[in-house]
Chains A and B, each alone.
Chain A
Amino acid sequence: EVQLVESGGGLVKPGGSLRLSCVASGFSFSTYSMNWVRQTPGKGLEWVSSISFSSNYIYYADSVKGRFTISRDNAKNSLFLQMDSLRVEDTALYYCASDGTGDFDYWGQGTLVTVSS
């Protein structure tokens, strides 16, 4: 059974940092591209970042470019999102999701990030 388990969310002040993690099991993690997708009541679902299986290709949404860094450790079946210079508008539920062929075929349960003073 495919499982994706996120962690690392929490309450942080504007300008602060958080590091999200996602541990994968039940599939060959090292052969899949991975993504972070966030969801807010106001803006709905928003793709944040993608990383190829070998980390050779990395993409970011314009809204987070220069502030967020995606990475992975295939030996530990883990995906990460380093979030710096956080803004109030980054408040959201953050999901990690595996990449089928551009679709998001499996999702974790999400980790909540709240940016507030």
Chain B
Amino acid sequence: DIQMTQSPSFLSASVGDRVTVTCRASQSISTYLNWYQQKPGKAPKLLIYAASSLQSGVPSRFSGSGSGTDFSLTIGSLQPEDFATYYCQQSYTIPRTFGGGTKVEIK
């Protein structure tokens, strides 16, 4: 199985900060990498697919980059509604696997 490792696990930031979360795959997955946002008590929401494509309706302050084994999700200017947990997920092969999550908290 492909292991997905996210860092950091926790991130403390302020409104307006530029925030970057990284995800590393245990083998090359080309650009078959997706990002989700999850708020407490809610289901995950797709933000970015295919490493860098913004899902419809997602604000443009979210962006994704990377290929191969190293990927990143960047929030250009953190907004109050962005405090949540973020997960990466590979869609290169079955079984689909997720990273352990990065919780973005208010500083």
Residues of chain A in range 50-67 having any CB-CB distance to chain B below 8 Å: 50, 59, 61-62
> Closest CB of chain A to B57's CB: distance in Å?
11
Which residue from A45, A101, A108 sits with its C-beta under 8 Å from B91? A101
Q: Considering the chains assembled together, what is the distance between the CA atoms of A88 and B86 in angstroms?
A: 27
Task: Give the most central of B55, B92, B95: most A CB within 10 Å.
Answer: B95
Q: Determine whether the beta carbon of B43 is less than 8 Å from that of A108.
A: yes
Q: Is the CB of B91 within 8 A of A103?
A: yes
B55 with A105: CB separation less than 8 A = yes
* B interface SS class: loop
Choose from A100, A101, A107 the contact partner of B45 (Cβ within 8 Å).
A107
Known contacts A102-B96, A103-B89, A45 near B44 by CB under 8 Å: yes
The answer to whether residues A50 and B49 also contact, given A44-B101, A107-B44 and a CB cut-off of 8 A, is: no
A109 and chain B: residue at smallest CB distance: B43
Bound CA–CA A18/B87 (angstroms): 28
Complex alpha-carbon distance, A23 and B46, angstroms: 20
Q: Given A44-B98, A44-B101, A45-B44, do A101 and B49 touch, yes or no (CB 8 Å)?
A: yes
Once the chains are docked, how many angstroms separate the CA of A95 from the CA of B45? 12
Report the interface size class on chain B.
20 to 34
Main secondary structure of the interface of A (DSSP, over half): strand
Tell me the complex Cα distance, A68–B87, Å. 25
The docked-state distance in angstroms from the alpha carbon of A45 to that of B32 is 17
Distance, CA A8 to CA B65, complexed state (A): 39
Known contacts being A44-B101, A100-B49, A104-B89, is A95 close to B43, with CB within 8 Å?
yes
How far apart are A34's CB and chain B's nearest CB, in angstroms?
A: 13
Query: How many angstroms from the CA of A104 to the CA of B46 in the assembled complex?
Result: 7
Name the 3 nearest CB pairs between A and B, nearest first: A102-B91, A107-B43, A47-B96
Q: Interface on B for A, CB 8 Å cutoff?
A: 32, 34, 36, 42-46, 49-50, 55, 87, 89, 91-92, 94-98, 100-101
